[in-house]
Amino acid sequence: MYHIMIHDSIGSGRGHRFEGSCNDQRCRTTDARETCEAVPRRTVMTESDAADITHLRRCVELAREAVETGNRPFGSVLVSGAGEILKEDHNRTGSGDPTAHPELALARWAALNLSKAERAAATIYTSGEHCPMCAAAHGWCGIGRAVFATSTPQLIAWLEEFGAPPLPYKPVTMRELLPHVEIVGPFEAFAAEIKAMHERVHRR
């Protein structure tokens, strides 16, 4: 069980997170170092918040499985509007395919197996914020919600700290790319664990 401080969401009744995270819909910066203005906080944990934490914990487990099998530390879970786990996957770029991201795989599966209404009610949970490729797939497939444990700005900072190569694209956050999608994250309680996995993979 985690101790949490949850932000009131802006424009959504479900966008809550741990203290120190940002889900303010007014935050639209391209500077990965910037943070949004302070928003009101409350300490009431809803049923939706508890479900988010549970699914993110599974994403972290999948990310660990990815590292153990020679891939990068990303894991994702697709959950229906009714809370049913529909599909899960982890990063498979160790195969030699740099596009083998779990968020992309789940979006494609949703497009082929769910109705438009079912996709709109669904959520993709992931250990790390979608890259632009995966975020675009999320948008094209009409998936209603995204929840991530750690953010792109966090990953950028960690890669720099580890002396690893930078991301091979201009970083764009999901909130910038998909302003119409409900997006929740990051959750600070997962940061240290996920950072350690990235350090294992990237530290020179």
Helix ranges (H only) for the chain are 47-68, 102-113, 116-121, 132-140, 152-162, 174-177, 191-202
CA atoms within 13 A on the CB side of 53: 17
> Where does the pLDDT of residue 48 fall: very low under 50, low under 70, confident under 90, or very high at 90 and above?
confident
Q: Which tens digit of pLDDT belongs to each residue from 140-187?
A: 999 999 999 999 999 999 999 999 999 999 999 999 999 999 999 999
DSSP assignments along 43-54, one per residue: -PPPHHHHHHHH
Indicate the DSSP class of residue 189. Answer: G
* Residue 193 and residue 60 in contact, taking contact as beta carbons nearer than 8 Å: yes
pLDDT at 21 over 50: no
What are the pLDDT digits (tens) for 104-133? 999 999 999 999 999 999 999 999 999 999
**Position 31 pLDDT exceeds 50:** no
Euclidean distance between CA atoms 7 and 22, whole angstroms? 8
pLDDT at 38 over 90: no
